[in-house]
Structure 1
Amino acid sequence: MAPSAGVNLLFPSSARSEALQCSVPGRAGSPHPVQGLLERFEAGPGCAAREPGNQETHVVALGRVTGDPRLPSCSQVTVHLKPLSPPWPALRSVRLLLSSRLPVAWWLRAEALPPGLLLQVEVSSNSSVRAHGVGLSVHTVRSLPFRPRALHRWTVKHHGSLSSMTHTAQGNQVYIRLGEDPTQPAVCQLQSMFLSHNYIVSDLQPQEVQGCSRPRQADRTGPEVHVIKLHSSGSGLCGSLQVEVVVSLLPPLGKSKAARVVLILSSSVPVNWAVVAGGVRGHVTVHVGVTSLFRV
């Protein structure tokens, strides 16, 4: 697991000098406009294969759920499903095997998948499955194994082959890219330490934020200026995953005019900054330090 990261965020709300005089920086509580999150990626036994044809099978085994205090249930695990490359083949079906030692509330979230796609899900008898954006056919398996080799053998015996298998000790987020990947081997050979950008489990947790803010006045004409200072960051597992800090700009509730935002991003360690501004209208100016990379 990657080590934790500490983040300090300062968010003045106007470019004018007097707006910079916010209160003395301290712990930012729930009213603060900024939330800090740290995502640690987990590695464990697993494998991947290209599995050609009209069906693909993905296996996820999770030993323990690391509860997210932002969610109503401490046993919820979110599975993010997204195609490797759209459009999705009309005749290709997807099967998920979800195994866990303890009860898990699996929550499947589909992105860029056809609305008529029906997922075939097999799940341990102690758990439940819900979905958003995709149809479900759920079958409870009382004898679904958990140990890596036993689960791998069970899947091959009952379904012939598999596209991916991810087995980790803990986490609360799962990312699966659906579709045939020609770069993968023909057979999913179980590895003792498996890590892939396309099939991965993570632990997403809120982080304490130090900062201050000042409410934006209605008559202000300057842009919003947000300063983010990152003191440390976890390194990628085995050096194969680059450290990336994502800054997500969320649109305000209700109708609003186009935004003018200035982001000043500073880090004591080299990182890759990524700015995501889905649904935000307007203009965003970004300033980054010389030791960092930036992408939108």
Structure 2
Amino acid sequence: PILLLLLLWGQSAAAWHWALCRTRPLAARHPVLGFWERIRAGPGCASRGRSTSGREVHVLILRGPAGGMGARQVSLELGPAPSGRAPIFVLSSPAPVVWSLQTAQVALGEQWTFQVSPGSRVSALGGVSVTETQLPQTPRGLLHWAHEEHGGISSLAAYRGVNMVYVRLGDDGVLPGACKLRRNFLSPTHFASDLRPQSLRGCLTSDPPWDPEVHVILSKGARPRYEPYIKA
């Protein structure tokens, strides 16, 4: 009887505690953040091609005006870090862009190479070499330029209206030998998106931290052409 009473009391206390958890707009310090993400496609291709020195060569083109004041920021999600030679990235844009590198830590002694349009820069924690270069603005023009400059190309993609680009490094074993442009290039290993913050409603309990932590997330559907993206 005493054990049953304690169990019922514990369940009632938990239910009462959660009943007091009133939802309200969440502040930036909340552990769960919400976003809307719209996947974009554009001209592009991928292949097993490499530079004459055996390095991966990935080419990105941003199309349209940079917009806003100052340089636009675009995040590059790159990974996993290749086990072979350090990769080369060619980043073309019509206006200055801050390319923010989000990737596994660059191996000690490696130096990833970035060629960017004039005025652009790369934000990264060491291990990168950045050179400003006059780059073609069209996919075919840049494809030809990259072949002439490096001897081969691993991927090329042109996007409009994006602030996130995802590139999986390494060879998946099924890519073709040559990079042949397609009109709407979209691949699980190479895509881009327009990622926008989304306000959320929720609450935080006053309990001591649990191990493991428990976060309850309820999604009520997506906006047209966008997918919900939750970061915890």
TM range (shorter): 0.7 to 0.9
Gaps of 5+ in 2: 1-12
Q: Which has the higher helix share?
A: 2
1:66/1:172 contact within 8 Å kept: no
> Per the alignment, do residues 59 and 221 of structure 1 end up closer, same or farther by CA in structure 2, a change over 3 Å counting?
closer
> Per the alignment, do residues 118 and 236 of structure 1 end up closer, same or farther by CA in structure 2, a change over 3 Å counting?
farther
Asked which structure has the greater CA Rg, the reply is: 2
Q: 3-state DSSP class of the match of 2:87?
A: strand
TM-score by length of 1: 0.63
Instruction: Give the Å deviation of 1:58.
Output: 0.4
**Deviations 1:29-81, CA, capped at 9 Å, x for gaps:** 435443212222211010000125721110011125688xxxxx872212122
* 1:140 alignment partner AA: E
2:41/2:186 contact within 8 Å kept: yes
Asked if residue 181 in structure 1 is aligned to residue 179 in structure 2, the reply is: no
The residue number in structure 1 matching 2:104 is 111
Q: 3-state DSSP class of the match of 2:74?
A: strand
The residue number in structure 1 matching 2:217 is 228
> Per the alignment, do residues 245 and 77 of structure 1 end up closer, same or farther by CA in structure 2, a change over 3 Å counting?
closer
* 1:233 alignment partner AA: A
Q: 3-state DSSP class of the match of 1:233?
A: coil
- Which residue among 143, 147, 153 is the counterpart of 2:138? 147
Asked if residue 18 in structure 1 is aligned to residue 16 in structure 2, the reply is: yes
* 2:221 alignment partner AA: S
The residue number in structure 2 matching 1:56 is 56
Mapping of residues 147-226 of structure 1, within 5 Å: 147-211=138-202, 213-218=203-208, 226=215
**Deviations 1:127-161, CA, capped at 9 Å, x for gaps:** 111212x511211112x111212211221222222
Gaps of 5+ in 1: 1-14, 68-72, 238-242, 249-296
- Which residue among 35, 38, 52 is the counterpart of 1:37? 35
Instruction: Give the Å deviation of 1:88.
Output: 0.4
TM-score by length of 2: 0.79
The residue number in structure 2 matching 1:95 is 88
- Report the aligned-residue RMSD: 3.2
Asked if residue 46 in structure 1 is aligned to residue 44 in structure 2, the reply is: yes
Greater alpha carbon shift after TM alignment, 32-41 vs 176-185: 32-41
Q: Distance in 1 between matches of 2:20 and 2:207?
A: 13
Q: Which has the higher strand share?
A: 1
> Per the alignment, do residues 230 and 128 of structure 1 end up closer, same or farther by CA in structure 2, a change over 3 Å counting?
same
1:51/1:180 contact within 8 Å kept: no
Instruction: Give the Å deviation of 1:215.
Output: 3.9
> Per the alignment, do residues 109 and 26 of structure 1 end up closer, same or farther by CA in structure 2, a change over 3 Å counting?
closer
> Per the alignment, do residues 112 and 181 of structure 1 end up closer, same or farther by CA in structure 2, a change over 3 Å counting?
farther
Asked if residue 122 in structure 1 is aligned to residue 120 in structure 2, the reply is: no
* 1:135 alignment partner AA: G
**Deviations 1:228-268, CA, capped at 9 Å, x for gaps:** 2211136999xxxxx785553xxxxxxxxxxxxxxxxxxxx
Higher RCO (C-alpha 8 Å, min separation 6): 2
> Per the alignment, do residues 66 and 226 of structure 1 end up closer, same or farther by CA in structure 2, a change over 3 Å counting?
farther
